[in-house]
Amino acid sequence: MSEIITHDILVLGSGLAGLRAALEASIISKGGLDIALVSKVQVMRSHSVAAEGGTAAVLRTEEGDSMELHAWDTVKGSDFLADQDVVDRFVKASPGEIRHLEHWGIPWSRRPDGRIDQRPFGGHSYPRATYAADKTGFFEMQTLYDTLLRYQNTTRYDEWFVTSILVEDGMFRGLSAIDLATGEFHIIQGKALIIATGGAGRISGFTTYSHAVTGDGIAMAYRAGIPLKDMEFVQFHPTGLIPTGILMTEACRGEGGYLRNSQGERFMEQYAPSKMEVAPRDIVSRSIMTELAEGRGFKREDGLDYVHLDLTHLGADKINERLGFIRELAIKFVDVDPVHEPVPIRPVWHYTMGGIHTDIDGATRVPGIWAAGEAACVSLHGANRLGSNSTAECLVWGRITGARAAEYALQREKPSSPPAESTARAKDHIFGDLMKRDGNESIYQIRKELRNTIDRNMGVFRTAEKMQQGLDKIRELKQRYRNIAVRDKSKVYNLDLMYALELGFMLDVAEVTTEGALRREESRGGHARLDFKTRDDDKWLKHTLAIYTPDGPKFDYSQVKITTWEPVERTY
């Protein structure tokens, strides 16, 4: 018999969105709700700590910024696929989150007069990226965690691997999970669930993501009957360190860094003359890949050709004050000191614009389940996210979903009995299936082939031929996955089992992402096709919805909400 644990609200994921949701639910209930914070990593190891550059918010209306300008920048940046009512709510809410963090003690970087500083970021018409040096995500996480500790109503389940979301009779009932430290299987019951597990970037091999970001929450929601939305839209960050893929924050360019090709030219003048290096990320990434394709990059034998990110003109004082972590990373990983020499970079898989389909409140189609942050697709970012809007989204919808889940939970009784049917199914999947598999396929070889497939066929530029090859390979890997072997039969920290579960999630996410991209016959934002080079609003101004079936995803579409701005040509 599995141990049954019961709480009021379950928060799955302990990054920015998860911590903000748990904190808001605690505030709303004045500490009265029993909240579980469940994560497969220790709380301060969540990927949000890797966010470096800033958090977007309108703080300077007296100096020329405005809510309307932030909304326009976001809608235009999204290549007009963002839902405009969502954008409007976002820009009005994000300044309040900056002030909450200020009152809770975050060490924002300051102007000489003591006011909070902001810097330029790609696609923004005003320098509205609020920052804490180049460790913004870390300081935001630490501040939220410290504030949450003031409440005594949250139980942390660190290093618990959630294996499924339990839904019975169309309602949320709980989670199945393995305590990695003991190997014991548990059911965690709750009235409400907030999914805040982040994106799915580790389906790629060359990525900025932490190793834990394998799309678990997205895949579990999909399997539980919640559609995934716009998964074909993947953001490539223009400046990934060669050869590791480590993020060189957009703040490098926001603070005045240059991009140079092998001829020493600042080539962005040819692609986005009004914005140069602080054009939106999709445009800068395509520009870099064009330079490389036309022979104006630096060659590497492993195929990771690159251009230069040049910070040398900024001077040591500015780099040390505002980009000290970037300097440390470049020196440590590639023995390059940005004070004295340019940094080798190329576009790198960075952000999942799509995710779990939600409404404007972050609610899913299953009563009792919300999603927030990168795991969700509330349709803020559309086809391309503006830098510094992501951490703001985590804070805004962390607060919204925390409040909604708290209101929901306060009106309901705790579940009295575990969901027998879904519990049995979840347990049998692990102990009656995965742990008993003794095939000749390697989990690690399939994982490696999946990542190579994604990198080869789902890059910055795409074609039907390459995507079809990728989709065929993913389906082959799904078949081979049935014949894997979990060699480790022990209980304590059975990483073999964890990697097997992660791989199943990754394959589902990769299939949805690739097939959705193949079906979308246009170029829009982060989805750039060489065989359909233009945006097609007549046919494709719509959201992609992928619905789980045992035979693979079934696709549907939904309308984009346009309230203010009709689509126009997107130039910078």
Q: Which residues are catalytic?
A: 237, 253
Is residue 394 a contact partner of residue 20, using CB atoms and an 8 Å limit? yes
DSSP state of 51: -
**Dist. CA 218–CA 229, nearest whole Å:** 10
- Enumerate the β-bridge partners of residue 110: 116
Spell out the residues 6+ positions from residue 559 whose beta carbon is closer than 8 angstroms to its own. Answer: 542, 543
Q: Which amino acid is at 139?
A: F
Cα-Cα-Cα-Cα dihedral sign, residues 227, 401, 181, 204: positive
Is residue 213 a contact partner of residue 47, using CB atoms and an 8 Å limit? yes
Could you tell me which of 11, 13, 39, 14 has the C-alpha nearest to residue 144?
Answer: 14
Could you tell me which of 380, 8, 70, 450 has the C-alpha nearest to residue 229?
Answer: 380
Is residue 544 a contact partner of residue 516, using CB atoms and an 8 Å limit? yes
* Encoded tokens for 190: 């709750």
Is residue 560 a contact partner of residue 537, using CB atoms and an 8 Å limit? no
* Phi, psi (rounded to 5 degrees) for 365: -75, -10
Could you tell me which of 45, 237, 245 has the C-alpha nearest to residue 158?
Answer: 45
**Dist. CA 328–CA 346, nearest whole Å:** 19
Distances (CA, A) of 565 to 389, 546, 558, 561: 19, 27, 18, 10
| Cis peptide upstream of residue 243 (ω within 30 degrees of 0) | yes
Could you tell me which of 295, 203, 243, 186 has the C-alpha nearest to residue 508?
Answer: 203
Q: Write the burial class of residue 182 (CB in 10 Å: 0-12 exposed, 13-18 middle, 19+ buried).
A: exposed
Crossing angle of helices 216-223 and 495-519, in 10° steps, is 70
The stretches of 29-83 forming alpha helices (DSSP H) are 67-77
DSSP helix/strand/coil, 117: coil
* Phi, psi (rounded to 5 degrees) for 172: -70, 135
56: enclosing H helix or E strand:
strand 55-56
DSSP state of 346: E
Spell out the residues 6+ positions from residue 472 whose beta carbon is closer than 8 angstroms to its own. Answer: none
* Phi, psi (rounded to 5 degrees) for 69: -70, -40
CB burial of 357-381 (b: ≥16 within 10 Å; e: otherwise) equals: bbebebbbebebbbbbbbbbbbbbb
